[in-house]
Amino acid sequence: MKISFLSLTIAAVPIALFSCEAPMGPNTQRGAATGALGGAVLGGIVGHQSGRALEGAAIGAAGGAAVGGAYGNAADQEQRNRR
């Protein structure tokens, strides 16, 4: 169960990030990368407390990338609308 959930999480992140119709703008990419890094650090810390640092880091990275990418995408759309 542990390996399959971790594999699913690792596989879902690139699919979610790279399956967009419109090309990603620089804020989307930066937000996803920053969110993944921050989420992995925080997830690793929280996961370490329960003895599952790797799983916590993977889940944190996936969640952070999704949130950071969504925030960056909103900033990209706002910039496009201003033009």
Q: pLDDT-derived band of residue 21, with 50, 70 and 90 as boundaries?
A: low
pLDDT value for 25: 80
Q: Where are the domains of the chain?
A: 2-82
User: What is the C-alpha to C-alpha distance for residues 70 and 54, in angstroms, rounded to an integer?
Assistant: 24
* pTM for the structure as a whole: 0.69
- Per-residue pLDDT of 45-76, as tens digits, reads 999 998 988 889 999 999 999 999 999 999 99
Which residue in 59, 83, 65 sits closest to 28, CA to CA? 65
**Backbone dihedral region of 51: left (phi > 0), alpha (psi from -120 to 50 degrees) or beta?**
left
